[in-house]
Amino acid sequence: MTPLLELSGVSKRFGGLDALSGIDLKVMPGQIYSVIGPNGAGKTTLFNMASCLLHPSAGQIRFGGQDITGKPAHLMPRLGMARTFQNLAVFKHETVIDNILTGMHTHLKTGILGAALFWGPTRKAEIAAREAAEEIVEFLEIETIRDVPVGTLSYGLQKRVELGRALAMRPRLLLLDEMVSGMNQEETEDIARFILDIREERGITVMMIEHDMGIVMDISDHVAVLNFGRKIADGTPQEVSAHPAVVAAYLGVAENAAGGQP
Ligand SMILES: Nc1ncnc2c1ncn2[C@@H]1O[C@H](COP(=O)(O)OP(=O)(O)OP(=O)(O)O)[C@@H](O)[C@H]1O
C-alpha cells in the first residue's frame, strides 16, 4: 500500500541550527499517527514542512504518492490536506457556522462572476456546502452554539470549531497540532472520541502532535518520537513507551525540570 504521507531524509536547518535531521517516516492510509517529543524537538517544524508552510533543506516529501517538496502551501487543501494550529486559528467575530463554511470554500470553485453567469449550479453548490457544514456542526455536537460568535466561546469549544473548519475542507489527511493542550479532562475525552470517529466514519487519516500522553497512548496506531531534531523511535504506543531512548529523552526532561543532571 502506498503511504498517504512519506518523508524521506528530510532535514531543516535554521541558520546554524539543525531543527530536523534526516527524518524518514510513513503515514499509512487510515492511521492515527502521533508525533511526540520534548519541547523544541522539531515537531512543529515537521508539520510545517509536511503542509509545505516550510520547505526542507534536504529530502523529499510525498503526499498520496505525489512529490510535494517545495510546492506552495495554498495547494495543500485542494490536494486533500487540512490542519489545525498550535495557536487558535479561527475568525473570532464570525459565528460557528460561518467559520465552518470558510473551510468549504476550498471546494466552491465559482466566484462572483460565476454566480452571475451560472446562478443555478452556483446556488446548488452553496446549498450543498451549507448542508455539509450543518452536518459537521451536528457531528461535533455544537448545534446549540451554531450562531454564536466564536470569540465568546470557551477555548475548548473554539478548538472544536477550528477542527470543524478543517473537516469542512474534506481532507484525506488531517494534521492536528496540540489539539488538547489547555483542555480539561472532559474536553480531552470528547476530542479523543471525535478523532476516532473522524477516522472510522469519515475515513480520514489523522496525524497529530501531542504532549498529552494519555490521548497518544489511548488512540494512536503509530507513534514517532523526536528528540533534538532526530527520530529516536517509531512504533506502536507500547513499543515506543518501552524504548530505552524514549525513556531517556523524557527522563532527561523531567530531571532538568527538577534541577537534576540529564
Ligand atoms: N523559524 C525558525 N527560525 C529559527 N529557529 C527555529 C524556527 N522555528 C523553529 N526553530 C527552532 O527549531 C527547533 C525545533 O522547534 P519546533 O518548534 O519545531 O519544536 P517543537 O517540538 O514543535 O517544540 P514545542 O513542543 O515546544 O512546540 C527549536 O530549537 C526552535 O527554536
At 121 the pLDDT is 62
Mean pLDDT over 167-192 rounds to 94
pLDDT value, residue 253: 60
CA distances from 246 to 202, 225, 258 (A): 33, 7, 18
Closest atom, ligand 1, to C-alpha of 86: 27
pLDDT band for 215, please (50, 70, 90 cuts): very high
Specify the pLDDT at position 260: 42
Tell which of 135, 170, 205 closes a domain. 170
Does residue 41 carry a pLDDT above 90? yes
Report the domain count for the chain. 2
Evaluate if residue 178 carries a pLDDT over 80: yes
pLDDT tens column, 77-90: 999 999 998 777 78
* From 45, 54, 207, mutation site for ligand 1 pocket: most ligand atoms within 8 A of C-beta: 45
Band of the pLDDT at 249, cuts 50, 70, 90?
Answer: confident
CATH number at residue 163: 3.40.50.300
Q: Which atom of ligand 1 is nearest to the CA of 209?
A: 22
Exposed/middle/buried for 217, CB within 10 Å: 0-12, 13-18, 19+? middle
Q: In what order do the strands lie in the sheet with 17-27?
A: 17-27, 5-14, 58-63, 66-67
pLDDT tens figures, 81-125: 999 987 777 888 999 999 999 888 766 555 545 555 555 666 777
- CB of 48 within 6 A of ligand 1: the answer is no
Four-residue CA torsion sign, 242, 243, 246, 247: positive
Residue 253, classed as helix, strand or coil, is helix
Identify the DSSP state of 173: E
| 161 shares a domain with 175 | no
User: Is the pLDDT at 255 greater than 70, yes or no?
Assistant: no
pLDDT at 261 over 50: no
Region 238-254: what's the mean pLDDT? 84
Nearest CA, atom 30, ligand 1: 40
Ligand 1 contact via 44 beta carbon (within 6 Å): yes
CA of 129 to the centre of ligand 1 (A): 37
**Could you identify the atom of ligand 1 that is nearest to the CA of residue 47?**
18
**CA 45 to ligand 1 centroid distance, Å:** 6
Cell digits of residue 159: 478548538
Residue 258, all three cell numbers = 527538577
Whether residue 251 sits in one domain with residue 212? yes
Mean pLDDT, all residues of the chain: 90
Residue nearest atom 9 of ligand 1, based on CA coordinates: 45
Residue 207's domain comprises: 1-79+171-262
> Ligand 1: does its nearest atom lie under 6 Å from the Cβ of 159?
no
Let me know whether 72 and 177 are in one domain.
yes
Domain check: are 74 and 87 in the same one? no
Decide which of 141, 170, 199 is a domain's last residue: 170
Q: Flag whether the ipTM exceeds 0.90.
A: yes
Q: Label residue 3 by pLDDT band (50, 70, 90).
A: very high
Residues paired with 222 in a beta bridge: 33
Asked if the model's pLDDT at residue 183 lies above 80, the reply is: yes
Examine the pLDDT at 146 and tell me if it is beyond 70: yes
CA 109 vs CA 80, 124, 159, 166: distances in Å: 15, 12, 27, 18
